[in-house]
Amino acid sequence: MAAPSKCRRCLLRDVSPEDYQKYVESVLLKIPARDRTPDSVYAARLDACRRCDQLNGGTCMGCGCLVELRAAYARQKCPFRTW
């Protein structure tokens, strides 16, 4: 009997903080170096997101993205132009 597949579209309340962090880290590791934001810029972007009223549980309420992932891509932009 095959193991049940893991839901890929769960609500954050259904996912443990550890599982959420593992997911984010696994996606970050898959970003090609040429597409990745430099570490210092990534940290500055996340700091701007932390100060934003639209941040809710790691999600941008303006565009619906997971901010830790959006900020990691060099070509991405904040929908509110804070970075």
Compute φ and ψ for 64, nearest 5 degrees.
Answer: 90, 5
pLDDT digits (tens, 9 = 90+) for 4-17: 445 555 666 777 78
CB distance 54 to 63 below 8 Å = no
Q: Whole-model pTM above 0.85?
A: no
Measured between alpha carbons, how far is 82 from 47 in angstroms, rounded to an integer?
Answer: 10
Measured between alpha carbons, how far is 49 from 6 in angstroms, rounded to an integer?
Answer: 29
Measured between alpha carbons, how far is 37 from 31 in angstroms, rounded to an integer?
Answer: 10
pLDDT of residue 3: 47
